[in-house]
Amino acid sequence: MVLVAVDFSPPSAAALLWGAQVAEVFGDRLTILHVVHDPEAAPGYYRAKKNGKHVRRLENAARDMLDEFVDGLVTGHPQLAILGTAERSLVVGIPVTRILEVAEATDARLLVVGSNGRTGLSHLMLGSKAERVAQLSPIPVTIVKAPRAVGDAT
């Protein structure tokens, strides 16, 4: 099984598309994982995306965001039929730890994550969840970067 961890960013979209292609080539199952990291400012809740005036239970909002993210990729990439049949999983916790736990519990044979590819001071200050997953994972990890936009200097 190919496990792709997503955070709804462009790099995680690129990672999901790459992971879907790999799963199709190998005839493997695809699982899409999002780890809900409880924000300190509003424990247990996400601000509603549409109007921002009320809060919702963390898991409910994250589930909707995961479905919207994956459904958008399914619509935009109909040639990747596996996206529509992939298992969608949502867990709560510290992202790196939970990604590794889910990979072990599901007997994933490949873990795919996206990365912004920060370098220099921003990398030293923020670190990289993708890099940490790759360092700690007992199974192969592929880190996928999203293509840079024209004029993007990062």
pLDDT of residue 117: 61
Question: What's the confidence (pLDDT) of residue 120?
Answer: 47
CATH number 3.90.1170.50 given to 2-145? no
Over residues 105-151, the pLDDT tens digits come to 999 999 999 987 655 444 443 348 888 999 999 999 999 987 765 55
Q: 133 and 99 in contact (C-beta within 8 Å)?
A: yes
Give 19-62 pLDDT, tens digit per residue.
Answer: 999 999 999 999 999 999 866 544 555 555 555 555 457 788 89
Query: What are the distances in angstroms from CA 71 to CA 19, 47, 60, 101, 142?
Result: 16, 21, 16, 26, 23
Domain ranges of the chain: 2-145
What's residue 44's pLDDT?
Answer: 52
Q: Which residues of 65-81 are buried (b: 16+ CB within 10 A; e: fewer)?
A: bbeebbeebbeebeebe
